[in-house]
Structure 1
Amino acid sequence: MSADEEKALGNAALQKKDFPTAIKHYTNAIDLDGSNHVYYSNRSAALLSNGDVQRALEDGEACVGLKPDWPKGYARKGAALWKLKRMNDAVKAYESGLEACPGDKALSDGLKAVKDAISAPPRPAGMMGGAQNPMASLFGSGLIDKIASDPKMKEYLTDQAFMDKIKTLQTNPNALQGMLGDPRIMEVLSMALGGNVGFGGPGDDSTSPPPAAAPKKKEPEPEPEPVEEDTSWMNEEELEKHNKKKDSVKRKNEGNDHYKKKEFQQAIAKYDEAISLDETNMTFLNNKAAVYFSMKEYETCIQICKDALEVGKANFAPFVDRAKCLTRMGKSYQKKGDLAEAIEAYKNAQLEHHTKDTERMLKNLELEKKKADKLAYQDPVKADEAKQRGNDLFRQQKWGEAVIEYEEAVKRNPKDAPIRNNLAAALCKIMDFNAAKAHIDEALALDPKYVKAYARKGDIHMLMKENHKALDAYKAGFELDNTNSACKEGIMKVQNMINQGSQNMTEEEKRERAEHGMADPEVQAILQDPVIRQVLQDFQQNPKAAQKAMQDQMVNGKIQKLIAAGVLQVG
């Protein structure tokens, strides 16, 4: 959909007072063509009517920046500043507009209305609010006559509820705030402000003339006569070229009709006719590529897209058209499974014209390719070869080189638990204990009954001076296989360290060990357990109660864990 089509949809929504939809379409138009001042002006009107005054002001300023000699941009800016109660700034906006566009009625009326609001005298004592509403001057005695002169609004005068609201506004302008939900009141307010100063429809004209007096009887209007194109200035060659271009667009539209009906061959024929009449328009080729994409003939679609890009570059086609063509090419590559080419096409499309949709497709595809590359790299045979090379290097005490080979084996076969166990052993040799722990945990996740991994996990925790975790790991492996010497010896080694090791420690070493244990979330959770806290207190104040509590297996296990972590010292 083109930017102008989006704008037309926005205009229709605004006329229906569907402000969020209008804002959406105007935003789409701006995304497609951010250099068109009218789109910002129209969105400013929709935002102001929707209550988003700050953004309405920003769009008004953008409109003025893009088209400094267009009065409506200043009117949008002034209306937003007025709504924000920045009255002096609103005056400056209208005055700047009149300097750029002298004599514009909408700007003159807007300036007068703001100045009247600023200079309005305070309300007499006893009136609501203690100060006059800036809008009070708009609802004078001539308001009814103005409404009656409008072909549409004059019908409102027959509605008693509407008349009651108008009378209320004339006596109490402060009541306006509670009536803004009535679109008829908004129309009256727009008229009172001097036309389309910020509350009305979008419009593309530079002025907003006052409504004409309604005819007594609306007669059916005759159909407009077709406008003849002035081709008298063209020579024979230029006229032929002009007629061919007109005919090519006609053929393209006929092709579009066939395409919508899924009459693909007929659509291709029409697009070919359009191309033969005008070889400089890449849109015809792009449309033809779309047909082949729908027919799932992706290779043909890609080739036509390439041809379209050549035509577009040679004839300075809009960047948006080139981006569309590249995006279609990317989709075709993606359908073929060539993710690398698809990513390249999407990146090139973003360079031509950046869109959020293409950015999303690009990011998703990059993630998909990363996963596909990892999967394609996997090879159990090559993984075993890398593992054997790692084993040889490990035996030669070339720990760093062994790590590299084991890591290659993991990439080739990430679901192999023994490879990760070997990698963890090599990582321990180069003292990268955290990485070793991560790989051994992954090995156990792959195979929860892998006893060697539990023994290795215990060793890693011993090296990290986490005796309580080492004891848990060894015990878990021993429960799975009570004949495993590594787990059995590990349990004995940890228990000896707990029972005797602390006797050989200095006070500084004991303190460091306790601080290390305290950093463990599991230890922290035990210390926060109210039962354990009571037991620890009883050890000092009521030893019998503490000994009785220790008979509970769960309590005993937690206390032993505190002792193993060095947080609780005995002896």
Structure 2
Amino acid sequence: MSAEEFKKEGNAAFVAKDFQKAIELFTKAIEVSEQPNHVLYSNRSACYTSLKKFDEALNDAQECVKINPTWSKGYNRVGAAEFGLGNLDDAEKQYKKALELDASNKAAQDGLEQVQRTQQARQQQPDLGLGQMFNDPNMIEKLKANPKTAELMKDPQLVAKILQFRSNPQMMGAEVLQDPRLMTIMATLLGIDLSMGGDAAGDAKNEELKAEEPKAGEPKAEEPKAEQPRAEQAQPAAPREEPEPMEVDEPETDNDSKAKADAEKAEGNKLYKARKFDEAIEHYEKAWNLHKDITYLNNRAAAEYEKGDYETAIKTLKEAVEQGREMRADYTVIAKSFARIGNSYHKLNDLKQAIDYYQKSLTEHRTPEILTKLRNCEKELKVQEVEAYIDPEKAEEARLQGKEYFTKGDWPNAVSAYTEMIKRAPEDARGYSNRAAALSKLMSFPDAIKDCDIAIKKDPNFVRAYIRKATAQIAVKDFAGAIETLDEARSKDTEVNNGASVKEIDQLYIKATQQRFQPEDPNESPEQTYARAMKDPEVASIMQDPVMQSILSQAQQNPAALQEHMKNPEVFKKIQTLIAAGIIRSR
């Protein structure tokens, strides 16, 4: 599951008041979140506060404001935890900090009022001298060292409660009556020498007690009666400190402000269509300030984009995504923000970032439009990377290196070097032709043919590429293809090289022709030769040609007529094919 899914389940558990389960779910969300998310810590802090685990609540709240120091609600959480711990001054500071960031923060206003009421109640009530008793900085250590309280002080929750009493002694009244452990601790604090001296100290104390006892026969001094407070003088009990009511972070709604915000948005849309982008941005900004709906941010970014201010648009859209996550905005709206970030990076020619954000958009909501943009961007990036790698000087270095490997018979490294040459100079036909030669040495003839085709496409007058292609075609027994390639080679050689390669071309032509129709049985009969030759598609086509049928019929009656017909290049080629196939035999 994703962090967002865990968060949604945690919110549901919180609403159901299953705070422990909510804590577990928010913890999982924190663990799988790609980046620290202040809202998750805020929500978990709320859970801990609801369970009165204020130390844990404070830790999470502090982590929340550390991640996002500008988010006012985080300081609400810190204030609530400090209030629960009885640290009223610290709680007051945190609520005030929240209001500095957002004066309309209702929870901070209520929390601050609650803290101030509690502070006022404390000042109005006497602490019966307990405040001084708890001010001893070594109080906890002394209680741990005292045999009567040492075992009790092993309970961390009890220790935490005592520390709360240090900051607010008035809280102790009802607690002492309900918890016998606290009565033991109070008795210890009131009646035991906390310096924990030796026997001599104890003896001295006994002597003092004896000296105060009356002698026999003397009346005992009347003990003063405790004055009972009158009903009208009774002081109200200190209010029980409770943290602010907790809730998970949800977007706030206000129908009034929403209506006003939509009106600003509508005005912004009119200005946008009129291409008055600066004015449109002002209205979208007002809409956002009136009501937190990330559609307004998306629109503002669209205006910034049309202005050509792509970096500002990106900043606005990232804010939209962050705010949208917190407010649990519809995934289609988040997807639109991501897509527009991708568009902005595309305009900035940062294609890698554009691809990243198009992918994020598709993760939120898959649409054909964004998928097409992603594919086109990926292709564009590939072209850019290829173009960025082009370097004619390094291409020449790779060519010479390939030639050296080829001369040594190191065909694999020759292929690698020529491949590097192709990357550095993709329009140079020599790289493909040279690699084809090395691939042929490795018996990789189909790949060699492909490279030769590319070389011929790059440079149609590159005769060497035709010759290498024909050689590879003969190797794979594509004799008809080889002969066709050699015909093209002869034509190009005559045209651009004055026939410089005609001898090599003719040798390959003879080889292809001979091997094309070479019989397996040297003693085969004319009938067998004819049957085998007719399996060749080209021979079959020639024999079914009505013009050739007429020429062959005349040749049987008058062999001299055949010589006349062979003056036609097309007829000559076909007659040569039939001779090679053994259908026409020379005497």
Residue 287 of structure 1 aligns with an amino acid whose one-letter code is N
Aligned to 2:268: 255
Q: CA deviation at 1:400?
A: 2.3
Aligned to 1:244: 257
Aligned to 1:386: 398
Helix, strand or coil at the partner of 2:433: helix
Q: CA deviation at 1:501?
A: 9.9
The separation in 2 between residues aligned to 1:383 and 1:517, in whole angstroms, is 49
Please give the root-mean-square deviation of Cα atoms over the aligned residues, in Å: 3.8
Aligned to 1:274: 287
Q: After superposition, where does 1:34-433 map in structure 2 within 5 Å?
A: 241-279=254-292, 281-433=293-445
**Cα–Cα, structure 1 residues 335 and 528, in superposed 2: closer, same or farther, change >3 Å?**
farther
Contact 1:251 1:274 in 2 (8 A): yes
**Cα–Cα, structure 1 residues 501 and 462, in superposed 2: closer, same or farther, change >3 Å?**
closer
Q: CA deviation at 1:488?
A: 0.9
**Cα–Cα, structure 1 residues 356 and 245, in superposed 2: closer, same or farther, change >3 Å?**
same
The separation in 2 between residues aligned to 1:537 and 1:353, in whole angstroms, is 74
1:557 aligns with 2:573: yes
Q: CA deviation at 1:295?
A: 0.6
Contact 1:330 1:341 in 2 (8 A): yes
Identity of aligned residues (%): 36
Helix, strand or coil at the partner of 2:283: helix
**Cα–Cα, structure 1 residues 567 and 423, in superposed 2: closer, same or farther, change >3 Å?**
farther
Counterpart of 2:491 (choices 472, 476, 484) is 476
The separation in 2 between residues aligned to 1:509 and 1:318, in whole angstroms, is 82
Contact 2:406 2:414 in 1 (8 A): yes
Q: CA deviation at 1:422?
A: 0.9
Aligned to 1:463: 475
* Structure 1 residues not aligned, in runs of 5+: 1-237
The Cα offsets for residues 498-554 of structure 1, whole Å up to 9 and x where unpaired, read as 57997885359999999799667x667655533234445555677565454334332
Q: CA deviation at 1:363?
A: 3.0
The separation in 1 between residues aligned to 2:411 and 2:529, in whole angstroms, is 30
The separation in 1 between residues aligned to 2:515 and 2:315, in whole angstroms, is 79
Aligned to 1:447: 459
Contact 2:260 2:290 in 1 (8 A): yes
Helix, strand or coil at the partner of 1:326: helix
How many equivalent pairs are there?
330
Q: CA deviation at 1:368?
A: 3.0
The separation in 2 between residues aligned to 1:567 and 1:327, in whole angstroms, is 69
The separation in 2 between residues aligned to 1:515 and 1:412, in whole angstroms, is 49
The Cα offsets for residues 97-123 of structure 1, whole Å up to 9 and x where unpaired, read as xxxxxxxxxxxxxxxxxxxxxxxxxxx
The separation in 1 between residues aligned to 2:253 and 2:464, in whole angstroms, is 86
Contact 1:462 1:470 in 2 (8 A): no
The separation in 2 between residues aligned to 1:473 and 1:240, in whole angstroms, is 78
The separation in 2 between residues aligned to 1:519 and 1:341, in whole angstroms, is 57
Q: CA deviation at 1:332?
A: 1.2
Determine which structure has more spread, i.e. the larger CA radius of gyration: 2
The separation in 1 between residues aligned to 2:483 and 2:252, in whole angstroms, is 93
**Cα–Cα, structure 1 residues 350 and 506, in superposed 2: closer, same or farther, change >3 Å?**
same
Residue 546 of structure 2 aligns with an amino acid whose one-letter code is P
The separation in 1 between residues aligned to 2:393 and 2:364, in whole angstroms, is 45
Residue 416 of structure 2 aligns with an amino acid whose one-letter code is I
Helix, strand or coil at the partner of 2:461: coil
**Cα–Cα, structure 1 residues 337 and 240, in superposed 2: closer, same or farther, change >3 Å?**
closer
Helix, strand or coil at the partner of 1:317: coil
The separation in 2 between residues aligned to 1:363 and 1:519, in whole angstroms, is 45
Q: After superposition, where does 1:493-512 map in structure 2 within 5 Å?
A: 494-495=509-510, 498=513, 506=521
Contact 2:317 2:341 in 1 (8 A): yes
Residue 569 of structure 2 aligns with an amino acid whose one-letter code is Q
Helix, strand or coil at the partner of 1:495: helix
Contact 1:255 1:268 in 2 (8 A): yes
Aligned to 2:503: 488
The separation in 2 between residues aligned to 1:498 and 1:323, in whole angstroms, is 64
Contact 2:529 2:582 in 1 (8 A): no
The Cα offsets for residues 201-237 of structure 1, whole Å up to 9 and x where unpaired, read as xxxxxxxxxxxxxxxxxxxxxxxxxxxxxxxxxxxxx
Q: CA deviation at 1:303?
A: 1.2
Contact 1:399 1:429 in 2 (8 A): yes
Helix, strand or coil at the partner of 2:427: coil
The Cα offsets for residues 406-429 of structure 1, whole Å up to 9 and x where unpaired, read as 122112212112222211111111
**Cα–Cα, structure 1 residues 469 and 240, in superposed 2: closer, same or farther, change >3 Å?**
closer
Q: CA deviation at 1:309?
A: 0.7
Helix, strand or coil at the partner of 1:337: coil
Aligned to 2:68: none
Q: CA deviation at 1:402?
A: 1.5
Q: CA deviation at 1:448?
A: 3.1
Q: CA deviation at 1:487?
A: 3.5
Residue 260 of structure 1 aligns with an amino acid whose one-letter code is K
> Comparing 304-313 with 349-358, which one deviates more in the overlay?
349-358
The separation in 2 between residues aligned to 1:433 and 1:548, in whole angstroms, is 40
Contact 1:393 1:402 in 2 (8 A): yes
Aligned to 2:546: 530
Q: CA deviation at 1:492?
A: 3.9
Query: TM-score, normalized by length of structure 2?
Result: 0.49
The separation in 2 between residues aligned to 1:308 and 1:418, in whole angstroms, is 53
**Cα–Cα, structure 1 residues 430 and 266, in superposed 2: closer, same or farther, change >3 Å?**
same
Helix, strand or coil at the partner of 1:354: coil
**Cα–Cα, structure 1 residues 513 and 308, in superposed 2: closer, same or farther, change >3 Å?**
farther
Contact 1:482 1:488 in 2 (8 A): no
Contact 1:258 1:267 in 2 (8 A): yes
Q: CA deviation at 1:292?
A: 0.2
The separation in 2 between residues aligned to 1:344 and 1:440, in whole angstroms, is 38
The Cα offsets for residues 25-48 of structure 1, whole Å up to 9 and x where unpaired, read as xxxxxxxxxxxxxxxxxxxxxxxx
Residue 311 of structure 1 aligns with an amino acid whose one-letter code is Q
Contact 2:268 2:283 in 1 (8 A): yes
* Structure 2 residues not aligned, in runs of 5+: 1-250
**Cα–Cα, structure 1 residues 365 and 567, in superposed 2: closer, same or farther, change >3 Å?**
farther
Residue 468 of structure 1 aligns with an amino acid whose one-letter code is I
The Cα offsets for residues 417-461 of structure 1, whole Å up to 9 and x where unpaired, read as 222221111111112222222322332333333333343344334
**Cα–Cα, structure 1 residues 326 and 529, in superposed 2: closer, same or farther, change >3 Å?**
farther
Contact 2:298 2:337 in 1 (8 A): yes
